Structure 1
Amino acid sequence: MEVEEVREIEEGEVNDQPIEEEEVNDCPIEQVRMTVPISDDQTMPALTFRTWVLGVFSCAMLTFTNQFFSFRQNSISIGTISAQLMVLPLGKLMAATLPEKTVVVPLTDFSFLLNPGPFNMKEHVLTSILAGAGTGSVYTLQIVTICKVFYKMEIQPLLAILLTLTTQMAGYGFAGLFKIYLVDSPYMWWPGSLVQVSLFRALHEKESRVKGRLTRLQFFLIAFASCFIYSIVPVYFFPSLSALSFICWIWPKSVTAHQIGGGLHGLGLFSFGLDWNVASAILGSPLAYPPYSILCSLVGAFLALYVAVPLVYWTNGFEAKRFPIFSSNTFDQSGKPYNVLRILDRKTFIFDIQAYNNYSKLYLSTIFVFAYGMSFATLAATLSHVALFNGRSIWRQMKSSMQDKTGDVHNRIVKKYDSVPQWWFYTIFVVVLAFSIFACEGFGGKLQLPYWGVLLAITLGLVFTLPIGVIAATTNQEPGLSVIAELIIGYLYPGRPIANVVFKTYGHLSLNHSIYFLYDLKLGHYMKIPPKSMFLVQMVGTLIYNMIGFGTAWWLLTSVENICDVTKLPKGSPWTCPRENVFYSSSIINGVVGPLRMFGKLGVYAKLNWFFLFGLISPVPIWWLSCKFPQHKWIQLIHMPLIFSSAAAFPVIKAVHFWTWGVVGIFFNIYVYGRYKGWWTRHNYVLSAALQAGAAFLSLLVYFSLQMNGRFGLDWWGADGGDHCPLATCPTDPRIMVDGCPTVS
């Protein structure tokens, strides 16, 4: 949210919370001084009956919905802002209807008040944080999916639960260890949290309906109902609206036309979707992204799809014409899907080098090759970009935070509450570490990762939490460890696919969740939430998130026939599992065959290592130009890591997803924001939440009432959930014969 918008919100508010003693706003960060109030009412109830009821219910619902949709072609991710907006009317309803009655818990001296008065901001913050734990699908469950679906391994539910919980909770231990540096320090200001602070304050200002205008709640309900009603068309009656690929309609028998125009399995030129699920699938709501982020992402996608990939494919680089141009699968030299079971020992699931030499090298589609190259470039570009553009300020802030022992006004206020003892965090860390080793070493060694691998993965996450936390807390960027983690274990412990993904998950996810927890802790710090209440809410939210997520995934994996197998799914079935397919392919690339035979001296794709160097030096000319021409502020918005990372998102994200997301984002965040700033400030985030919720709830209703009973829609041309570009998956090498594909001369 821009500074001007924050000022507009604050000018319309009346903050009548009492201040116990006069404070001086000595926070060193100007944006924080402009946005975060320095007042606090310690008598305001926070962890109430309403907080628990609304938080637990919302967390369970969001977790189920996000995990449920993660397996579908057009996934949905309902985010924190949606939860923040949806719980507000429910909280007000409870405040208006519940009796003011004290309830005593039987057999204890514990009691609580059913209705402590108006639904207040602290309750709202805690409820949103608890609910927000359920945003997104459970990353670790991709391991369970590839074990059961792709590798045909039996995995015990207890092992799956242990793996899920330990990978999440390790990050919480990290957050406690580094809280003093990344939360208590006023120089670690977490820019993204200021949007949340502004929105909380805007929602809790006294709002009366102006004649001719709608309140935010009225607008939310109208937008929700409209999206809910419309979504029945693309979800059930006319699924082809999700991917309108016009070029394929004009040239229905041309492989090249389908490759260029296919929105799902091609380059997606002029492809577009009329379904909110497509606009927000995987990438998230386009209404929540700043304009420069959208433009940089679209530039990266355009260069990848219409410059780099065509150049490599039609010059037959890496023997590309043998395979589809856009696919997340792996292939053998004959152009057929790679049969990984042929190069694995069936008893130990360990790589068989002799079988590999007798079978085939591993090949990727052109877009998948570039996705790996762009991942390498993104990692290197992030380091150099942050060093050049933010290095001096980060170093200055780090030194200041180490020297500043008293903190700022927000620290002084929060210290009036009981703090969370450090030994709580140390205990979590030690217990999680012990259970992590038990999960990997026990259960017959099914996870393949020995104890030293667990220790190395946890150490990797631990070492990077502070530097990446500093970057996230000061620049709003969060480099990940996913690619580098799978490369490290791929070199150290090759030939074991499950060990590779488990190591990657412990290293990457422990860091990822520690940053997520630290972000929430800083939000609670700004909103003056009692630290022990924050601790309890985060712990309970994490447990609910993992257990509901596991239950949802296990139910789908055991009840949906042929889930994730696109060759056996019925026509129109949405259960294509795009994330899990890429995760599976990554386990083959770095876990079975290994990076040495993929990207090293024995590999087909050794040239991709140049992307590390390319990524490292790419921010340098942008930085030099920004220094040379400081009057042109737009130069600093050319963000090379964002440009690279957008191309690295393929092939999980399809071209039609990118263009639909981009067009909608540009319309609202550039056109509407520029011409109707007042409307945008008041309604943009509310509209985003309403569209997410409306599309999600309609899709759930259709599934449970119709699709679960085998009714996938009407039998007509528009019932095809694809894009009517069947030839997009065909190779163009005349020596390769694939069923359903014409011979290319």
Structure 2
Amino acid sequence: MVQIVDIESGDPGAAAMIPGVGEDGGDDDDASPIEEVRLTVPASDDPTLPVWTFRMWTLGLLSCVLMSFLNQFFSYRTEPIIVTQITVQVASLPLGHLLARVLPTRKFKAPALLGGGEWSLNPGPFNMKEHVLISIFANAGCAFGNGSAYAVMIVDIIRAFYRRSISFLAAWLLITTTQVLGYGWAGLMRKYVVEPAHMWWPGTLVQVSLFRALHEKEENQDDDTGGGRTSRAKFFLVALACSFLWYAVPGYLFPTLTSVSWVCWIFSKSVTAQQLGSGMRGLGLGAFTLDWTAVSSFLFSPLVSPFFATANILAGFLVFMYVIVPTAYWGLDLYNARRFPIFSSHLFTFNGNNYDINAIVNDRFEIDMDAYSQQGRINMSTFFALSYGLSFAAIAATITHVALFHGKEIYRRFCASQKDKDKPDVHTRLMKKSYQDAPGWWFYSLLALSAAVSLVLCTVLKKEVQLPW
């Protein structure tokens, strides 16, 4: 267990107790330069632990399938529930220990075609590396924390909203290529965004802490009767039980707790009060929630991100919701905004009625200009229109921000990586020392294949995916 000590106490040995900090207070080459990483991830590895095991494949594939189904099922909620890999991390631990007890320990001889050697259904106790690989399988099933596969929404829109037909082959290729394309890019970019020591991902540290809490025995742990100190495993189990029990309250017993809008309760007959105070259909002024899924549904858990990132999002939210939207709606009445709800994802006619999209689209999925002229132009709520516009602007703003504020650093690290001067962190070196790295041509092939299939999809099956151009 990593011990946090006071390096300002004057004790020359205190700094040496912290991984990555030498006795002179400088950085150690065998540790991460990031303090959060040093205090969370151990700079050690045990290459003797079995990894490619039967129970790893069984639990990994099962968790991947279940996570994919559950996240797709829950994605249709108003506040989508994203079942993350933490659920699998907790559930697979007792299952792994159970398989380690019940599976036979008999050893088998592998065929020569598979390299020969001996293997067993039960090579020993369930270990952390198996647990990590099972979680990686599960993470792939939940689109790496994003819930369901993004392209599924395209299929939903084609079939449910526009009532068009799309074959299983076209839908499967669309979803698969968009997902696999990212694997190719990720493999090619790992040299720049994964291996360098200064490239760290805060969300990953949460997973590492959980694995260590579940597998490692804490050193110098006080007994239960004294010290007043709770172990990491006990704290995790208590927090897990409390959160599980509380979820039933806003989720099933008292759904009102999802959005408590006291302004709407006091001024129940005022339309303006509903627009200002409603947390579901308004600006949410003064509203609050006791449902954690409402907090983490779209931007994920704020406990994982660094404070500056959460504060940045909060500042943008306040400016957008309480300055830009009210000014455009009440102050300027842009495009007759007051005719429509201030917060809605629906489309409206000029009179405020719901817009019938099917009436302006013909059988070839082309716009019927005569029907469009008869029904009138499409109108959106102020919130929806500004959200769309700023979402497109955010793409250009992100590129501009990175280029202006981090362009020199990116260029310097890119040049260093090409000359092998940017030394990988200790964890990357440990993995490469004990395990063979995946060849780069795997990722090039995966990227080229997915891009080629995508082009075929957009040319041969263009009518099914509504891309006639």
1:219 deviates by: 3.8
Output the TM-score relative to the length of structure 1: 0.53
Of 131, 156, 167, the match for 2:178: 167
Q: In structure 1, what is the equivalent of residue 319 of structure 2?
A: 303
1:264 deviates by: 0.7
Amino acid of the residue matched to residue 152 of structure 2? L
Whether the 8 Å contact between 1:29 and 1:189 is mirrored in structure 2 is no
Cα separation, partners in 2 of 1:138 and 1:218, compared to 1, 3 Å: same
Written as runs of structure 1 = structure 2, the 5 A alignment for 1:210-221 is: 210-211=223-224, 214-221=230-237
Of 330, 346, 351, the match for 1:334: 351
Cα deviations by residue, 1:445-487 (Å, 9 ceiling, x for unpaired) = 211336xxxxxxxxxxxxxxxxxxxxxxxxxxxxxxxxxxxxx
Cα deviations by residue, 1:364-392 (Å, 9 ceiling, x for unpaired) = 10111221233244234323432344333
In structure 2, C-alpha distance between the alignment counterparts of 1:188 and 1:198, rounded to whole Å: 18
Amino acid of the residue matched to residue 324 of structure 1? P
In structure 2, C-alpha distance between the alignment counterparts of 1:257 and 1:149, rounded to whole Å: 34
Written as runs of structure 1 = structure 2, the 5 A alignment for 1:362-401 is: 362-401=378-417
Q: In structure 2, what is the equivalent of residue 242 of structure 1?
A: 258
In structure 1, C-alpha distance between the alignment counterparts of 2:399 and 2:299, rounded to whole Å: 23
1:330 deviates by: 1.6
What SS class does the counterpart of residue 141 from structure 2 fall into?
coil
The alignment's C-alpha RMSD in Å is 3.5
Amino acid of the residue matched to residue 125 of structure 2? P
More helix by share: 1
Cα separation, partners in 2 of 1:445 and 1:377, compared to 1, 3 Å: closer
Q: In structure 2, what is the equivalent of residue 87 of structure 1?
A: 92
Q: In structure 2, what is the equivalent of residue 487 of structure 1?
A: none
Q: In structure 1, what is the equivalent of residue 368 of structure 2?
A: 352
Cα deviations by residue, 1:68-109 (Å, 9 ceiling, x for unpaired) = 111012211133444444433443444355443335789997
Amino acid of the residue matched to residue 343 of structure 2? F
1:198 deviates by: 5.0
What SS class does the counterpart of residue 286 from structure 1 fall into?
coil
Whether the 8 Å contact between 1:181 and 1:401 is mirrored in structure 2 is yes
Q: In structure 2, what is the equivalent of residue 458 of structure 1?
A: none
Written as runs of structure 1 = structure 2, the 5 A alignment for 1:25-64 is: 25=29, 29-31=33-35, 37-64=42-69
Q: In structure 1, what is the equivalent of residue 453 of structure 2?
A: 435
Q: Is residue 269 of structure 2 the alignment partner of residue 253 of structure 1?
A: yes
Whether the 8 Å contact between 2:213 and 2:233 is mirrored in structure 1 is no
What SS class does the counterpart of residue 117 from structure 1 fall into?
coil
1:351 deviates by: 2.1
Amino acid of the residue matched to residue 356 of structure 1? Y
Cα separation, partners in 2 of 1:215 and 1:58, compared to 1, 3 Å: farther
Cα separation, partners in 2 of 1:170 and 1:380, compared to 1, 3 Å: closer
Q: Is residue 132 of structure 2 the alignment partner of residue 125 of structure 1?
A: yes
1:139 deviates by: 1.0
Q: In structure 2, what is the equivalent of residue 624 of structure 1?
A: none
Written as runs of structure 1 = structure 2, the 5 A alignment for 1:276-675 is: 276-315=292-331, 316-345=333-362, 347-404=363-420, 407-408=423-424, 412-413=429-430, 414=432, 416-443=434-461, 445-449=463-467
1:55 deviates by: 1.7
1:141 deviates by: 0.7
**Corresponding residue pairs, total:** 437
Q: Identity percentage over the alignment?
A: 46
Q: Is residue 155 of structure 2 the alignment partner of residue 176 of structure 1?
A: no
In structure 2, C-alpha distance between the alignment counterparts of 1:196 and 1:235, rounded to whole Å: 26
What SS class does the counterpart of residue 236 from structure 1 fall into?
helix
Amino acid of the residue matched to residue 360 of structure 1? G
Cα deviations by residue, 1:243-292 (Å, 9 ceiling, x for unpaired) = 22222222222111111111111111222223233233223233323333
1:122 deviates by: 2.0
What SS class does the counterpart of residue 354 from structure 2 fall into?
coil
What SS class does the counterpart of residue 231 from structure 1 fall into?
helix
Cα deviations by residue, 1:581-618 (Å, 9 ceiling, x for unpaired) = xxxxxxxxxxxxxxxxxxxxxxxxxxxxxxxxxxxxxx
1:165 deviates by: 0.9
Whether the 8 Å contact between 1:25 and 1:38 is mirrored in structure 2 is no
In structure 1, C-alpha distance between the alignment counterparts of 2:322 and 2:49, rounded to whole Å: 57
Unaligned segments of structure 2, at least 5 residues: 8-13, 20-27
Whether the 8 Å contact between 1:67 and 1:137 is mirrored in structure 2 is yes
Whether the 8 Å contact between 1:25 and 1:33 is mirrored in structure 2 is no
In structure 1, C-alpha distance between the alignment counterparts of 2:183 and 2:281, rounded to whole Å: 39
Cα separation, partners in 2 of 1:281 and 1:194, compared to 1, 3 Å: closer
Whether the 8 Å contact between 2:202 and 2:306 is mirrored in structure 1 is no
Whether the 8 Å contact between 1:47 and 1:126 is mirrored in structure 2 is no
In structure 2, C-alpha distance between the alignment counterparts of 1:209 and 1:58, rounded to whole Å: 36
